Amino acid sequence: MTHRRSLAPLAFLALAAGCLSKTAVEPIRYFRPEPPPDGAAARAKAPGAPSPVWLRRVTAASHLHELMARRTSDVEIGFNDLERWTSTPASFVERALAVELFEALGVERSESARSPRLDVEVLAFEERMAPRHVATVALAVSLLDGRELSILERTFTAESPLESSDPAAVARATGIALDQAVRAAAAAIVDALPASKQ
């Protein structure tokens, strides 16, 4: 009797292991926000010769990382462990802003502390369910001159409409919103920059 009782738990464990091994594991899916196809070459160079800029730092709100964010209300943000960005939102913004400023608009890149210093914080990089279903990108821009005086302090927000929560559609819409926010920010940065002394 004792022998039969000791085998019962082992049989149950073997059965449970067999059931678990047949369960399909959902793969993690990675997405990249694609900008519109017109590219940086479509923009006109910045008029005149603005001062060189030091793109010092691009950071993001603590909840914005590789997991794709979905804001369901003003106070709730959710994540799906299986839907991720190929990089962080801060990295996407930094690359897009560098291309827009230094390639498309022809601003000279600097790393001198005497040049105007640009810091950006990504406040939103998410699917937003309410009040409208959109992909949203928001950038807080801080531009200081060489004397640490503020030249520009402004938040740039762009939205792109969504018809579904399919992650590929969200990635495409986020790419459009990213492009719009970065273009608006870069144009304002160029307008705020003093003329080059050279």
- Please count the CA atoms within 13 angstroms of the CA of 43 that sit on its side-chain side: 23
Q: Is the pTM of this model over 0.85?
A: no
Query: What CATH class has 28-192?
Result: alpha beta
pLDDT digits (tens, 9 = 90+) for 38-79: 654 556 565 666 889 999 999 999 999 999 999 999 899 999
Residue-range domain boundaries for the chain = 28-192
List Cβ neighbours of 34 (8 Å cut-off, separation of 6 or more).
171, 172, 175
The phi and psi torsions of 100 (rounded to 5 degrees) equal -65, -45
Look up residue 1 and give its two tokens.
């009797």
Q: In whole numbers, what is the pLDDT of the chain averaged over residues?
A: 87
In the chain, count of helices (H) and strands (E)?
3, 7
How far apart (Å, rounded) are the C-alpha atoms in residues 127 and 193?
A: 33
